């Protein structure tokens, strides 16, 4: 059943057109958190005294101006404030950064401006300020609707507090999404199905549903190695995945990407831009970018340490520590890796244009035969529900 739900009928058009040009967006990284969650390996740091936001604003302005010189003129279709915990920023900080972005790369009239927020009451109190600053979408890290699970995840909010933050967000923004982490220790498919149904009942247009991943170097990795944190095995993980697809699709929020679900038309435009291999500037500590210059597509990364980034920007006008041209093969590999995460799949003509060659017909035929990938109208190719759990292997096979 699940395979049918994920698989839009092969010979029918996709439910929305895929734009020929994936566009341009800006990612802004705010690298601070109140506390470090034991599962998280994002570039996030805890500081005893609050950072000097005015100093950071000046550095963000400088780095935006530097990136503008690299990209040239662009229009921005989406901005994403990610972290870390961007909801620790003052609304005035967000407003000043948006102003600098607007001056560098004017925002489309209907640009999507998302801010990632932690769902505590302190942060919810700032939501109206973010709205006034120009944010029009929030993505809340609810993570679980069960207090014991939230404690085990090291979260600083209860389920009730998180749902109260969702309500405040829904009153302030037209577009609200929240994240849940599933495949937690001991979690049964039936419990997860019930938790997911409660989440859907909140009425949000978008949900990000991530399977708990054990990231190297985190406290969870140490517990996992010691056998004190047991994550679901293959069969239970698959059952949890199946429940996720069934419950969301039945509620009108089908997957449009491996971990992301939305009502039709409510997909995150910024995330689609990444998966469609669009162009984006990455600003702030540890941000990645992909920008198109006269010399071709470049990958940029900035210094990860917040204070090191700050002093670097103050000294050089930018925090870039890596800036390298991407070969055709690297670009087509990245396009494949990102695009196959999407239910809309990839455009074979674009792949061929990027890489300078088509896929090996024998490999495509074998993967289709095994039910791992399927063709779509418009010369598109996508992973099937059976293929999604082994996507890395499919990408490696197709790219070889
Ligand atoms: C940058 S993080 C967090 C945003 C925000 N600071 C928060 O915690 O609410 C984005 C999302 O990644 C997910 N995430 C982080 N680490 C994860 C892990 N090890 N396994 C699964 N999901 C994870 C969480 O759902 C989180 O909300
Ligand atoms: S999950 Fe969010 S709050 Fe927790 S450490 Fe990572 S970025 Fe910070």
**Digit-coded pLDDT (tens) for 17-52:** 788 789 999 999 999 999 999 999 999 999 999 999
Q: Taking 70 as the threshold, does the pLDDT of residue 366 lie above it?
A: yes
**In angstroms, how far is CA 203 from the centroid of its own chain?**
21
Q: Which residue of 30, 32, 33 sits with most ligand 2 atoms within 8 Å of its CB, as the best mutation to test the pocket?
A: 33
Q: Which pLDDT score is estimated for 234?
A: 86
pLDDT band of 400, cuts 50, 70, 90: confident
Mean per-residue pLDDT, 195-214: 97
Query: Running DSSP on this structure, what letter comes out for residue 259?
Result: T
- Ligand 1 neighbours by CB, cut-off 6 Å: 39-40, 42, 82-83, 85, 116, 118, 141, 143, 179, 181, 210, 212-213, 215
Question: Is a pLDDT exceeding 70 seen at residue 12?
Answer: no
Please tell me the residue having the least CA distance from ligand 1 atom 25. 179
Q: What is the pLDDT of residue 20?
A: 78
At 260, the pLDDT band (50, 70, 90 cuts) reads very high
- Token pair for 86: 């961007």
Under DSSP, the state recorded for 125 is T
CA 214 to the chain's CA centroid: 18
Which ligand does the CA of 36 lie closest to? Answer: 2
Give the alpha-carbon dihedral of 246, 251, 252, 257, to 10 degrees: -40
The pLDDT score that the predictor gives to residue 375 is 95
The answer on pLDDT for 13 being more than 70 is no
7, pLDDT greater than 70: no
36 in contact with ligand 2, CB cutoff 6 A = yes
When pLDDT is cut at 50, 70 and 90, the band that residue 58 belongs to is: very high
Nearest-CA residue for atom 2 of ligand 2 = 84
Query: Do residues 287 and 302 make contact, with C-beta atoms less than 8 angstroms apart?
Result: yes
> Stretch 335-357: mean pLDDT, rounded?
95
Query: Hey, whose CA ends up nearest to atom 17 of ligand 1?
Result: 40
Q: Is the pLDDT of residue 77 over 90?
A: yes
CA 354 – ligand 1 centroid, Å: 32
Chain segment 161-197, per-residue pLDDT in tens: 999 999 999 999 999 999 999 999 999 999 999 999 9
Of 216, 218, 245, 328, nearest in space to 5 by CA = 245
- Residue 88 is inside which H or E element, if any? none
The pLDDT assigned to 21 comes to 86
CA of 84 to the centre of ligand 2 (A): 6
Distance, CA of 261 to CA of 249 (rounded, Å): 9
Instruction: Tell me what the mean pLDDT of segment 2-12 comes to.
Output: 36
Distance 155 CA to ligand 2 centre (A): 9
pLDDT, mean of residues 333-353 = 95
Residue pair 167/219 in contact by the 8 Å Cβ criterion: no
**Ligand 2 mean position, distance from CA 41 (Å):** 8
Cβ-contact 278, 228 below 8 angstroms: no
Distance 38 CA to ligand 2 centre (A): 9
Task: Tell me how far apart the terminal alpha carbons of the chain are, to the nearest angstrom.
Answer: 32
Both tokens assigned to 153:
């995840």
What spacing in Å lies between the alpha carbon of 141 and ligand 1's midpoint?
7
Q: Do the Cβ atoms of 330 and 347 come closer than 8 Å?
A: no
Which residues have C-beta within 8 Å of that of residue 222, sequence separation ≥ 6? none
Task: State the ligand closest to the CA atom of 219.
Answer: 1
Q: pLDDT confidence of 3, banded at 50, 70, 90?
A: very low
Give the span between the Cα atoms of 138 and 15, in whole angstroms. Answer: 25
139 lines ligand 2 (CB under 6 A): no
Residue 4, pLDDT score: 36
Lateral strand order in the sheet of 380-383: 346-347, 380-383, 373-376
Give the pLDDT score at 16: 61
Contacts of 137 (CB under 8 A, 6+ apart): 112, 113, 114, 115, 173, 174, 175, 176, 177, 268
Given CA atoms 59, 61, 64, 68 in this order, what sign does their dihedral have?
negative
**15 has a pLDDT exceeding 60:** no
Cis check: omega of the bond before 84, within 30 degrees of 0: yes
Reported as a single tens digit per residue, the pLDDT across 125-162 is 999 999 999 999 999 999 999 999 999 999 999 999 99
| Tokens describing residue 277 | 């291999």
* Cα 369 to ligand 2 centroid, rounded to whole Å: 42
Mind listing the pLDDT tens digit for each residue in 262-317? 999 999 999 999 999 999 999 999 999 999 998 899 999 999 999 999 999 999 99
């Amino acid at each position: 059943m699940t395979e049918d739900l994920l698989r839009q009928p092969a010979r029918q058009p996709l439910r929305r057109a895929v734009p020929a040009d994936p566009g341009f967006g800006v990612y802004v990284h705010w690298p601070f958190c109140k506390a470090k969650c034991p599962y998280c390996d994002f570039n996030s740091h805890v500081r005893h005294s609050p950072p000097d936001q005015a100093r950071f604003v000046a550095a963000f302005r400088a780095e935006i101006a530097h990136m503008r010189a690299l990209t040239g003129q662009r229009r921005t279709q989406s901005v994403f404030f990610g972290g870390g915990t961007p909801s620790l920023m003052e609304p005035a900080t967000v407003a000043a950064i948006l102003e600098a972005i607007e001056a560098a790369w004017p925002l489309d009239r209907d640009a999507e401006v998302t801010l990632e927020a932690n769902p505590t009451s302190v942060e919810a109190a700032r939501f109206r300020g973010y709205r006034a600053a120009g944010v029009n979408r929030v993505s809340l890290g609810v993570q679980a609707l069960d207090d014991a699970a939230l404690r085990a995840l090291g979260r600083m909010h209860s389920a009730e507090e998180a749902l109260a933050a969702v309500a405040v967000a829904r009153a302030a923004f037209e577009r609200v999404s929240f994240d849940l982490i599933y495949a937690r220790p001991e979690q049964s498919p039936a419990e997860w199905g019930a938790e997911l149904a409660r989440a859907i009942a909140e009425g949000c247009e978008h949900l990000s549903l991530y399977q708990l991943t054990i990231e190297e170097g985190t406290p969870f990795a140490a517990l996992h190695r010691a056998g004190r944190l047991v994550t679901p095995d293959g069969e239970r993980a698959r059952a949890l995945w199946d429940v996720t697809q069934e419950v969301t699709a039945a509620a009108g929020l089908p997957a449009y990407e491996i971990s992301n679900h939305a009502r039709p038309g409510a997909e995150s435009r910024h995330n689609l831009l990444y998966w469609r291999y669009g162009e984006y500037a990455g600003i702030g500590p540890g941000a990645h970018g992909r920008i198109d210059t006269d010399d071709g597509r470049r990958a940029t990364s900035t210094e990860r340490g917040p204070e090191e980034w700050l002093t670097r920007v103050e000294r050089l006008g930018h925090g870039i520590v890596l800036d390298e041209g991407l070969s055709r093969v690297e670009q087509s590999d990245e396009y494949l890796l990102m695009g196959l995460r999407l239910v809309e799949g990839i455009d074979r003509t674009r792949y061929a244009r990027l890489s300078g060659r088509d896929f090996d017909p024998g490999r495509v035929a074998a993967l289709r035969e095994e039910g791992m990938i399927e063709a779509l109208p418009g010369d598109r190719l996508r992973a099937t529900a059976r293929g999604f759990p082994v996507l890395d292997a499919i990408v490696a096979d197709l790219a070889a």
